[in-house]
Amino acid sequence: MADKDEKKGGGKAWIGALALCTLVAVGTGAGLGMYLMTSVEKAVDQKTREAQEHEKAAKVLNYSGELTLRSVGSVVTNLAEPADSWVRIESSVVFKTGSLPTPDVTIAEIKADLVAYLRTLSTAQIEGASGLQHLREDLNERVALRTKGAVRELIVEALVVQ
């Protein structure tokens, strides 16, 4: 008879342990669910804020007002080094409408400056992304000097080195 009482008591202990484990699992699951829910909400809020900031940044225009975009055309010349290499550059200029009294003459002067400058370069100077960036900066500087700041930017549309 003592064995029967022990078995009944053991069954109650087993059920109690099982209930305790179930409560711990439910509590852990609820806590993890709350943690994940708040972290997802934070991520969604941050993405929404970034999207709003991106929209504000996208609305800011580099150029506004009465600006003119004129093509300089294609310039083909040889490079200084190696002598048998050639470069072809297509570009355009952006300037305020009316700031250049004779835009066609100015664009012809810019084209001549491009040829003169490109003839002083070697292929090593215009290799890679940093070489292209330096070329753009140098060309913009030359154009700004030539036009006394009337041209806002020279845009390199295509560059081919052969």
Nearest to 153 by CA among 110, 112, 121, 119: 110
Q: Are 162 and 85 in contact (CB under 8 A)?
A: yes
Phi, psi at residue 83, to the nearest 5°?
Answer: -65, -25
Give the integer Cα–Cα distance in Å for 143 and 110: 6
Strand order in the sheet with 67-78: 67-78, 86-96, 151-161
Q: Which CATH architecture has domain 67-161?
A: 2-Layer Sandwich (3.30)
Longest CA–CA span in the chain (Å) reads 118
> What value does the mean pLDDT take over residues 110-124?
92
Nearest to 137 by CA among 154, 124, 112: 154
Q: Which residues contact 66 (CB under 8 A, 6 or more apart)?
A: 96, 97, 98
Residue of 4 and 67 predicted with greater confidence: 67
pTM of the model: 0.59
pLDDT tens for each residue of 74-112: 999 999 888 889 999 999 999 888 888 888 999 999 999
- What pLDDT is attached to residue 12? 85
pLDDT at 119 over 90: yes
Amino acid at 41: E
- What pLDDT is attached to residue 5? 53
Angle at the Cα of 32 from the Cα atoms of 26 and 35, rounded to 5 degrees: 140
pLDDT at 24 over 70: yes
pLDDT tens for each residue of 49-74: 988 887 766 555 566 678 888 899 99
Give the integer Cα–Cα distance in Å for 108 and 38: 63
Amino acid at 9: G
